[in-house]
Amino acid sequence: MSIVNFGSINIDLVYRVDRFVQPGETIHALDHQRFAGGKGFNQSIALARAGAKPQHIGRVGPDGQWLLDMLETEGVDTKGIETCDMPTGHAVIQVDAQGENSILVHGGANQEISEAQFSKACSQLGEADWVVLQNEINALAAVMEAARTQGSTIVLNPSPMEDSIHQLPLHAVDVFILNRSEGEALSGEREVERILDALRARYPRASTVLTLGDQGVRYVSEGERIVVPAEPVRAHDTTGAGDTFAGFFLAERYAGVDPTPALRTACRAAALCVTRPGAAASIPRRSELAQES
């Protein structure tokens, strides 16, 4: 059994600003830092720090060796990561005075994962494996079809949400992890309960986790609806909070923990994450959650 994360690996360039830059405007950044990031990278780190032992499938450029070293140090299996001539993916992130972020992503090597690399990884999947996907790599549809053929559990975090998501074989998904804007785009609804009802009707075999920031999280599966409140904290930087939540929630569920305590653990981890700067650098370790409880 293993959690196999087909995911992006990025270099995050983070700029702290009083407010987000507007069209046609130039403003001074208050600070600049470089962090490890990418939704796939962050979720692998979160899975590992939550106690799981994930495998990561992805690609970096010659400037990305330090990112592989970091994954290996955290206990992530990196044998499925290849290096190519194209630069590693990167993100330009603005963080404002309230800790909210605005992100521009360039895919780079994340969009050049070869068919041979995907095929090799997918051929090793089995019914006991969980496949974790986000929308920052190429060939998502092919991976989903292969994972479904192998009987693996498919988890999709459709971020960034684009029209191409609707072209994926979404009926193969076992677990959706969505924020509110992603839920609205996927369901065509705006009110929380209507979003959940629409997704439940459209994808009846799937569980849906809908994160709502300081309003907590909703969970819906067959015969079960759960509401878990957010933990009150003062946000310093919300970058990586969703990935932290996803990693801890999936690690708990993979270990056999029931949904309600898994959601509470994930909310606690995300709350700690937003009190710190950066993405992967801000993800807490499981031991820190116990100290905070």
Residues recognised as catalytic: 243
Buried b (16+ CB within 10 A) or exposed e, 132-166: bbbbbbbbbeebbebbbeeebbbbbbbbebeeebe
95 membership: H or E segment, kind and range: strand 89-95
**Element (H or E) spanning 39, and its range?**
helix 39-49
Contact 218, 225 (CB under 8 A): yes
C-alpha gyration radius of the chain: 18
Closest listed residue to residue 217, CA positions, set 234, 229, 232: 229
Of 29, 42, 34, 28, the residue nearest 14 (C-alpha):
34
268 by Cβ neighbours in 10 Å (0-12 / 13-18 / 19+) ranks as buried
From CA 152, how far away is CA 112, in angstroms rounded?
24
Report d(CA 250, CA 54) in Å as an integer: 11
Report d(CA 283, CA 279) in Å as an integer. Answer: 7
CA dist., res. 243 & res. 9, Å (int)? 13
Chain center to CA of 104: 16
